[in-house]
């Protein structure tokens, strides 16, 4: 049973009337000849012009006990009296002054006779009239004992929200025209209907300004008022009677009144864009986070910097793709991937793989010296928030099976769902390195006539990676101004930087990050390819071979020679010096294979650079083929001419009486005779016989044997050739 107190609201469920408890008094104070306590009630509907009346207290309690009356907790909301208009303040102060005089009078205001005596006294002293006094008391009792109860109801005056449609065109309101021709007409129901039809049949524009509204107005005139409007050759309308059609201002006013702001926005922009603009962000990013490593956010963007080739700075290779992995609790960037591939699941997997790298060794590889405290290793999280593009592919299954990660997908066109990583892109690019690198795409300051950003590009992918690592370290040590934090973090004097928040969370909260072995990470995060085993090892692509003792120990080569062998290989596209292959044992162990010696020249290349070099080689070979085609054609002509001459000579010198058997039988004897003739010819040239056949006198002092001299010449010839080699 509730206690009946002053200002309590009671609702009569049967009569649909709400009462306010004014006071609990004896019967005599309200002019009743009775005993016992009475509850003075006042109807809260001031339009009924009711006055307080008494009800026995036991009757009120009985109604409440039987649930015929219920207690209401709702009341009129509080109002800021400082924000009232001057007219409202003036009326409020006048009524408040009358109320104070009435409450301080010796008359019983709850007694009808006392109120009447007070009204006569106020009228005699010219303080207030009887209707004025009763209105003030009625408002005070019906709306509660507070000053705002006496406010005038100006908001209900004039039927707000009700359209005032004139009956005829002559009932035009507003000032007369001074510039436009004609007198003008009022917007009757017929004109309003025509404007509604014109707006419904004309497509609204998507821009914030309304140049399309002018076109809609001409559409209205041509379609709804053809008897007063003539179409010109350019498609615009020429008005013949200005007092028969609405003006553009009237049409625009009707459009603004017919369609509210939300409707106008919905018709101008796409539904997804409207939902993203008007969505209320009710919760923050720290909700349900127990510490670092609970949830990572991953996203990709195209870097606003053009890069050049590492091996040919004259070649512009476009803008690379950047993946960032950010811890939602601490805002620490725990992983990245920068490559030339477009946004895809491979880039997302490699970005997650980089979360497990030793950041000290990673930075040392690019010439940056840091400590483990300056960039801690993030490892793998419990939850991963990603786009539907990455999350709905095979990455979700790989992360779920291999690491037990719960992959969460953000809604399409909803960047606020990944606000942490989206904000990190801007901080890393714009605040850290963007404006300082030639080739940066600055859309705000790019003007017509400026040098295009691609022509300013000077950095390659390796140099940009080094700059990116420095920018990430800057971000991880930058104060996050919008970070809310917790009372514990504030009491521990924690700096609101990602590194400090990560270390504090690991020490005082619960770090959910998990560490896995290198081969396990490669199995589930590196791209998988099917490679055929050959004699020289595993041929991945473009002259890239892998071979090692572990591969030889598997006894795969014998089976590969007989039946062929296809192996599953994992290779990092930016670390070609090592590959992982699945073994034949029951567990499918991952075997690490180094790059083969014949391919060591490609160990420092990336897969995209290798593809670019292979493409350049193919183009060069194709150009060389066409460039050398005249020489090749000429030599083929010489070959054909020589063959034809040989055929003609053989045909002319052939002995018709010599059989094929005899020709085949004398091959060895013919060979020895030919060799002797060639030797004699060479010896004759060595002894001084000129091209014309004239013999020079070279008579020796002593005679010698020709065969012996020929053998000596051959020995000298081979000796000279051996010494040269």
Q: What is the per-residue pLDDT across 195-223, written as a single tens digit (0 to 9) for each?
A: 889 888 887 665 545 677 888 888 888 88
Q: Is residue 366's pLDDT more than 70?
A: yes
Per-residue pLDDT band for 656 (boundaries 50, 70, 90) equals confident
- Residue 559: what pLDDT? 64
**In the chain, where the domains are located:** 9-72, 81-155, 189-275, 295-508, 526-605, 673-724
pLDDT digits (tens, 9 = 90+) for 70-104: 999 888 888 888 888 899 999 999 999 999 999 99
d(CA 273, CA 296): 26
Per-residue pLDDT band for 445 (boundaries 50, 70, 90) equals low
- Residue 209: what pLDDT? 54
Distance linking the first and last C-alpha atoms of the chain: 121
- Average pLDDT, integer, range 347-361: 90
- HSE-CB for 92 with a 13 A CA cutoff: 19
Report the range of poorest mean pLDDT among 17-31, 286-300, 500-514.
286-300
pLDDT digits (tens, 9 = 90+) for 665-693: 888 888 888 898 888 888 887 655 554 54
Per-residue pLDDT band for 696 (boundaries 50, 70, 90) equals very low
Residue with the bigger pLDDT between 122 and 581: it is 122
- Cα 566–chain centre separation: 39
- Residue 150: what pLDDT? 92
d(CA 603, CA 578): 8
- Residue 716: what pLDDT? 61
Q: Which residues contact 203 (CB under 8 A, 6 or more apart)?
A: 212
Q: Is residue 695's pLDDT more than 70?
A: no
Sign of CA dihedral 620, 621, 626, 631: positive
CB neighbourhood size of 152 (10 A): 15
Q: Which of 609, 644, 326, 361 has its CA nearest to residue 480?
A: 326
Question: Is the pTM for the entire model greater than 0.85?
Answer: no
Q: Which of 346, 283, 355 has its CA nearest to residue 324?
A: 355
Share of the chain above pLDDT 70, in %: 84
Between CA 40 and CA 45, with CA 44 as vertex, the angle to 5 degrees is: 135
Q: Is residue 641's pLDDT more than 90?
A: yes
- Residue 285: what pLDDT? 62
d(CA 415, CA 278): 13
d(CA 29, CA 264): 60
Q: Which residues contact 47 (CB under 8 A, 6 or more apart)?
A: none
d(CA 148, CA 139): 10
- Distance set, CA 446 to CA 318, 449, 647 (Å): 18, 9, 74
- Residue 719: what pLDDT? 58
- Residue 698: what pLDDT? 45
- Average pLDDT, integer, range 54-73: 91
Per-residue burial over 491-512, b = 16 or more CB atoms within 10 Å of its CB, e = otherwise: eeebebbbbbbbbbbbeebebb
- Residue 600: what pLDDT? 83
DSSP letter at 342 equals: P
- In the predicted model, what is the mean pLDDT of the chain? 82
Q: What is the 3-state secondary structure (H, E, C) of 439-504?
A: CECCCCCCCCCCCCHHHHCCCEHHHHHHHHHHHHHHHHCCCCCCCCCCHHHHHCCCCCCHHHHHHH
Backbone angles phi, psi at 482, to 5 degrees: -85, 5
pLDDT digits (tens, 9 = 90+) for 507-533: 888 888 888 888 888 888 888 888 877
d(CA 650, CA 665): 18
Name which CATH class applies to 295-508.
Answer: alpha beta
pLDDT digits (tens, 9 = 90+) for 231-263: 777 766 678 888 888 888 889 888 888 877 777
- Residue 725: what pLDDT? 46
Report the range of poorest mean pLDDT among 112-121, 353-362, 434-443.
434-443
Q: Is residue 361's pLDDT more than 50?
A: yes
Q: Which residues pair with 321 in a beta bridge?
A: 302, 339
Q: What is the 3-state secondary structure (H, E, C) of 180-201?
A: CCCCCCCCCHHHHHHHHHHHHC
């Amino acid at each position: 049973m509730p206690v009946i107190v002053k200002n309590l609201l009671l609702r009569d469920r049967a009569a649909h009337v709400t009462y306010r408890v004014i006071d609990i008094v004896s019967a005599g104070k309200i002019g009743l000849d009775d005993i016992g306590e009475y509850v003075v009630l006042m109807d809260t509907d001031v339009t009924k012009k009711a006055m307080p009346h008494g009800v026995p207290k036991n009757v009120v309690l009985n109604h409440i006990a039987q649930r015929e009356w219920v207690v209401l907790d709702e009341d009129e909301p509080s109002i800021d009296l400082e924000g009232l208009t001057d007219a409202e303040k003036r009326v409020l102060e006048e009524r408040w002054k009358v109320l104070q005089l009435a409450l301080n009078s010796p008359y019983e205001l709850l007694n009808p006779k006392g109120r009447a005596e007070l009204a006569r006294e106020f009228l005699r002293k010219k303080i207030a009239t009887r209707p004025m006094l009763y209105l003030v008391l009625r408002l005070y009792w019906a709306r509660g004992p507070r000053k705002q109860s006496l406010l005038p109801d100006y908001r209900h005056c004039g039927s707000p929200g009700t359209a005032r449609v004139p009956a005829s065109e002559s009932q035009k309101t507003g000032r007369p025209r001074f510039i436009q021709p004609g007198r003008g007409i009022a917007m009757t129901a017929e004109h309003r209907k025509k404007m509604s039809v014109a707006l419904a049949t004309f497509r609204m524009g998507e821009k914030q300004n309304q140049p399309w509204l002018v076109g809609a107005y001409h559409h209205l005139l041509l379609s709804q008022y053809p008897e007063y409007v003539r179409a010109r050759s350019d498609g615009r309308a020429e008005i013949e009677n200005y007092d028969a059609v609405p003006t553009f201002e009237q049409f625009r006013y009707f459009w603004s009144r017919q369609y509210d702001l939300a409707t106008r926005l919905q018709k101008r922009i796409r539904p997804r864009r409207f939902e993203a603009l008007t969505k209320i962000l009710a919760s923050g990013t720290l909700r349900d986070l127990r510490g670092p490593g609970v949830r990572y956010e991953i996203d990709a963007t195209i870097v606003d910097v053009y890069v050049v080739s590492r091996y040919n700075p004259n070649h512009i290779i476009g803008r690379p793709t950047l993946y960032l992995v950010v811890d939602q609790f601490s805002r620490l960037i725990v992983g990245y991937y920068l490559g030339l591939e477009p946004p895809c699941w491979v880039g997302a997997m490699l970005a997650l793989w980089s979360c497990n790298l030793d950041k000290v060794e990673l930075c040392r590889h690019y010439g940056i010296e840091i400590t483990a405290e300056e960039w801690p290793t993030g490892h793998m999280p419990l939850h991963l928030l990603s786009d539907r593009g990455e999350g709905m592919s095979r990455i979700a299954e790989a992360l779920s099976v291999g690491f037990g990660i719960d992959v969460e997908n953000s809604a399409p066109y909803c960047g606020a769902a990944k606000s942490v990583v989206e904000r990190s892109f801007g901080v890393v690019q714009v605040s850290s390195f963007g404006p300082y690198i030639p080739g940066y795409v600055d859309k705000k300051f790019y003007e017509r006539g400026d040098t295009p950003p691609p022509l300013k590009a000077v950095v390659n992918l390796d140099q940009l990676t080094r700059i990116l690592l420095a920018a990430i370290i800057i971000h991880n040590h930058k104060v996050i101004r919008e970070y809310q934090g917790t009372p514990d973090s504030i009491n521990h004097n924690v700096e609101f930087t990602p590194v400090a928040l990560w270390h504090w969370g690991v020490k005082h909260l619960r770090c959910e990050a998990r560490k896995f072995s290198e081969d396990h990470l490669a199995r589930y995060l590196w791209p998988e390819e099917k490679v055929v085993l050959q004699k020289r090892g595993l041929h991945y692509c473009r002259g890239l071979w892998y071979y090692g003792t572990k591969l030889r120990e598997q006894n795969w080569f014998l089976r590969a020679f007989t039946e062929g062998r296809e192996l599953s290989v994992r290779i990092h596209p930016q670390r070609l010096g090592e590959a992982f292959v699945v073994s034949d044992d029951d567990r499918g162990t991952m075997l690490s294979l180094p790059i083969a010696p014949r391919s060591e020249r490609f160990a420092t290349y990336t897969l995209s650079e290798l593809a670019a070099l292979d493409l350049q080689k193919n183009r060069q070979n194709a150009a060389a083929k066409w460039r050398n085609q005249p020489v090749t054609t000429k030599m083929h002509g010489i070959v054909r001419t020589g063959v034809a001459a040989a055929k003609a000579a053989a045909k002319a010198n052939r002995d018709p009486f010599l059989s094929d058997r005899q020709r085949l039988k004398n091959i060895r004897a013919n060979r020895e005779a030919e060799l002797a003739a060639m030797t004699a010819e060479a010896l004759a040239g060595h002894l001084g016989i000129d091209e014309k056949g004239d013999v020079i006198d070279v008579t020796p002092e002593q005679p010698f044997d020709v065969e012996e001299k020929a053998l000596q010449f051959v020995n000298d010839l081979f000796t000279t050739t051996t010494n040269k080699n």
